[in-house]
Structure 1
Amino acid sequence: MTAKILVVDDIVFNVKLLETKLKQEYYEVFVANNGVEAVKKAKELNPDIILMDVMMPEMDGIEATKIIKNDPNTMHIPIIIVTALNAQEDKVNGLSAGADDFLTKPINDHALITRIKSLLRLKFMMDELRARHVTSNQLGVGEEIIIDESNKIEGAKVILVDDDVAQAKKIKEKLNSAGISVDIVTEEQETLSLAEKNNYGLFIISTQLIDSDGLRLCSHIKNHDKLRGIPILIIVEEADEKTLTKGLEMGVNDYLLYPVESNELLARTTTQIKRKNYQDALRENYIHNLSLSVIDQLTNLYNRRYFDIHIKNLVTNAASTGKSLSLIMLDIDHFKNINDTYGHQAGDVIIQEVARRILLGVRPTDLSARYGGEEFVVILPDTKLEDAIKVSERIRQSVEMYPLTTVDSLEIKCTLSLGVSALNSDDSPENLLKRADQCLYKAKEGGRNRVVAEEAFFT
């Protein structure tokens, strides 16, 4: 997972230490020596993460964070505040200013890398949503996203999973005082059932439950289609680094330490709810603004027009950031025979079902489009060739192994041929598509019902 990280600190030793640690993980590191420089470089570099020290000359880290988070061009960049040990006031002020996390000095190497990876997962998803919004604007169907953060907290709903009665009561009272309603539950099934029925902005889950496993519940939420977009804040013992690390690796968004400090609770809860509101606004905005001019009416996938514009944006972004990008082109084998044998209505149902199975085989951030007729294309941001091959094989098997059923309950067996290409450093959208198309041709020529990747015959 490559990324650009901006380290902000006025002490050379601290900068060099962080720079060494981050470069060992193959991150690209940039440096700013004060808050003023941090604000400037955030705009110029558009980093994926900012590590922001608090105490600096000219402008401290708290003020710099406020400015960056209030700028629509930089507000999406995650900021990790770096504080002195036990500087509780700095932590709360930083989170209130919009920071996404904090680390205390001396910085634990494992905690540093784990927190960065956790925030990067969210950042890359947000980047893809923002990119789709830009594409919609270029097509003339997008609108400006205006989000008044100050009006988004009151009325929010939180589900708290905690069997410590005293602690649960304390948490509920603090959040209620800010206009946030809290439903308290104590076991897993009740949590999932309640969450499916209500529009929650955050899960707060204790990892010290007596009769349930808090992390297992987190895992179930992250694997639940309807619930996985809701952020999770876990409560964990300070010495329980193993539980914390597992939680962050599975996608938990944030954490609080026992005993829960009420101001930090409110600050972290507020940050997560605002982040979800922004994410939801982005998603609803492009869904609302995309019209039939960019959606294929038969499959509800994006159409060729949208794809042609969006791939240019993704290639430009990947080239500027050094991130991977792969493309899959696929075609239904012997589709003319299906139409001739069963009729065009059955053929339309087959196309719809193949589109559905493509969507089931890819991530929400991957873009699937109907390229024309029975041909489809999938763009996979931040994905290397070998991973794209695995995705292609998963899609191929999903069609081959299970017959497709028409409206007349007729089961039709069909297969797919797939070609896979990956972006090179000096590549163009046209060349990326051309190579995938050549691979698709090779798959057809080789007997169909197979995946062919470019390195199989371009090396």
Structure 2
Amino acid sequence: MTARVLVVDDILANVKLLEARLSAEYFDVVTASSGPEALSICERAQCDIVLLDVMMPGMDGFETCRRLKANPATHHIPVIMVTALDQPADRVKGLEAGADDFLTKPVNDFALVTRVRSLVRLKMMQDELRMRAVTSREIGMRDPLLEAVAESGLDGRILVVDDRASSHERIAQALRSHHKVEVETRPQEALFRAAEGDYDLVMVSLGLSDFDPLRLCSQLRTLDRTRGLPVLVVAEPEDEARLLRSLDIGANDYLLRPIDRNEMAARVRTQVRKKRYTARLRDNVQQSMEMAITDGLTGLHNRRYMESHLGTLVEQASMRGKPLSVLVLDIDYFKAVNDTYGHDAGDEVLREFAQRLRKSVRGIDLVCRLGGEEFVVIMPDTDAGVASIVAERIRNRVAGDPFPINKGARAIDVTVSIGMAQRQGSDVDAEVILKRADQALYRAKRDGRNRVVLDAA
């Protein structure tokens, strides 16, 4: 895995040492000698991860980290603090400043490379989601990057997998003041429980008896439903080999026994924040995808979606020798509604029309707003006889009850004209079918509106 690592230290010898270690593992290394210089490099998106010394003149590492994590543009960049400070209070201070990890000098080469690779791998998984989130922000959607900065990481749902009562009881007691904690003492059941529950974090003891905890970590990363769920392992200090192996196969963070309560609280909050940040990015991407294919006013699929799917549905119907019918609908005299009552009233009519249309068709039918007051219904496995019945049901439901406008203050009569066409023989040209339905609509308009007309072809 290649990545660009920013090494920040005011002592040149330390910089050269880390640069040599990372370059030997084929990382691209850039350097900075102060906090402000590091901030500038990160703001220009010139690194994938930061190795940050704490004891620097002027702006120390804690303040540099706080500023990186408070800036939506740099919040996502992982930070590993590398320092001679080795007290639990120092680690907690670094984690509370937003650091993703805290390594004490002299740094074990294998531990350093493992942590860098693990954090870079997670960042790269998020990068595409983050880029899409920036794009969706530009079209007016909520900004998950700003929300990430404000996220507290509290009130998380934690699953503790530990079969030693003395251990899991202490962990649960320490966390329950700020989180919802559940304990699973049967490691064989932990994977199923993690997949079924809406957890923010799984804590796995590496001291499980009669079960390989590394296998559980690997399974959590393999299963689709738990692949993005953070995993924090708890290990004995002498179990360094398995600890590093757990990070290599996808664990996000670790705690060493005896557990410092404050450090545990800080690491748990960090992982909960990250999980929620990634979830927001994914939700944002899903929303932007839906916006691309959905009409914002009516909530129906838009013309883009219809054009991309009609051809596929027609082709499938042709291959299977099944019927397919298309309805093209146009609200009668809609321009008069806008001219007489205003465009707000016109929007109310369109929304109400869309609701009545959706309630009149089956779940498998594709309902789209073609544009303006024109709509399309594509009906798979439906011949002209059944489609005529559905079209008449739509027409009656529209004409049967007045449409409320002006927020319900008054109501107006609305009617709709509908043109129909059915796929003929081996016809696989979606545009031809749509055009025939449109021509039938034109005849319905010409013959007096508020009627259903079947294409004569």
Q: 2:39: which partner in 1?
A: 39
User: CA 1:187 to 1:38, structure 2 compared with 1: closer, same or farther past 3 Å?
Assistant: same
Q: 1:371: which partner in 2?
A: none
Paired residue secondary structure (2:292):
coil
Amino acid at match of 2:224: D
Q: 1:155: which partner in 2?
A: 155
1:242 and 2:251 matched: no
Map 1:266-277 to 2 at 5 A.
Answer: 266-277=265-276
1:8 and 2:20 matched: no
Distance 1:282 1:345 in 2: 41
Cα deviation for residue 99 of structure 1 reads: 0.5
RMSD: 3.0
Cα deviation for residue 293 of structure 1 reads: 2.9
Amino acid at match of 1:214: P
Distance 1:51 1:344 in 2: 63
Q: 1:118: which partner in 2?
A: 118
User: CA 1:148 to 1:26, structure 2 compared with 1: closer, same or farther past 3 Å?
Assistant: closer
Aligned sequence identity (%): 44
Q: 1:233: which partner in 2?
A: 232
User: CA 1:33 to 1:292, structure 2 compared with 1: closer, same or farther past 3 Å?
Assistant: closer
Paired residue secondary structure (1:276):
helix
Paired residue secondary structure (2:56):
coil
Amino acid at match of 1:113: V
User: CA 1:210 to 1:68, structure 2 compared with 1: closer, same or farther past 3 Å?
Assistant: same
Map 1:279-318 to 2 at 5 A.
Answer: 279-291=278-290, 293-294=292-293
Distance 1:210 1:156 in 2: 27
Q: 1:380: which partner in 2?
A: none
Distance 1:45 1:87 in 2: 32
Asked if 1 retains the 8 angstrom alpha-carbon contact of 2:148 and 2:277, the reply is no
Paired residue secondary structure (1:192):
helix
Asked if 2 retains the 8 angstrom alpha-carbon contact of 1:236 and 1:257, the reply is yes
Asked if 2 retains the 8 angstrom alpha-carbon contact of 1:126 and 1:279, the reply is yes
Paired residue secondary structure (1:279):
helix
Q: 2:80: which partner in 1?
A: 80
Paired residue secondary structure (1:155):
coil
Amino acid at match of 2:47: P
Encode CA deviations 1:41-78: one digit per residue, 9 max, x unaligned.
21124410000011110111011000000000000000
Cα deviation for residue 96 of structure 1 reads: 0.7
Amino acid at match of 2:192: S
TM, length-normalised to structure 1: 0.63
TM, length-normalised to structure 2: 0.63
User: CA 1:238 to 1:345, structure 2 compared with 1: closer, same or farther past 3 Å?
Assistant: farther
Q: 1:28: which partner in 2?
A: 28
Encode CA deviations 1:374-415: one digit per residue, 9 max, x unaligned.
xxxxxxxxxxxxxxxxxxxxxxxxxxxxxxxx99xxxxxxxx
1:132 and 2:132 matched: yes
Amino acid at match of 2:158: V
**Which protein is bigger by CA-based radius of gyration?**
2
Q: 2:220: which partner in 1?
A: 221
User: CA 1:77 to 1:342, structure 2 compared with 1: closer, same or farther past 3 Å?
Assistant: same
Encode CA deviations 1:5-33: one digit per residue, 9 max, x unaligned.
11010111000001111112222211111
User: CA 1:151 to 1:279, structure 2 compared with 1: closer, same or farther past 3 Å?
Assistant: closer
Q: 2:96: which partner in 1?
A: 96
User: CA 1:340 to 1:48, structure 2 compared with 1: closer, same or farther past 3 Å?
Assistant: same
Distance 2:289 2:316 in 1: 32
Distance 1:156 1:24 in 2: 39
Q: 1:200: which partner in 2?
A: 199
Cα deviation for residue 150 of structure 1 reads: 5.4
Q: 1:342: which partner in 2?
A: 320
Distance 2:230 2:323 in 1: 42
Asked if 2 retains the 8 angstrom alpha-carbon contact of 1:206 and 1:235, the reply is yes
Paired residue secondary structure (1:259):
coil
Paired residue secondary structure (1:74):
coil
Distance 2:47 2:123 in 1: 10
Cα deviation for residue 340 of structure 1 reads: 5.5
Distance 2:136 2:10 in 1: 41
Q: 2:210: which partner in 1?
A: 211
Amino acid at match of 1:64: T
User: CA 1:141 to 1:293, structure 2 compared with 1: closer, same or farther past 3 Å?
Assistant: farther
User: CA 1:208 to 1:340, structure 2 compared with 1: closer, same or farther past 3 Å?
Assistant: same
Paired residue secondary structure (1:107):
coil
Unaligned runs of 5+ residues in structure 2 are 295-301, 306-312, 325-379, 382-457
Paired residue secondary structure (2:75):
coil
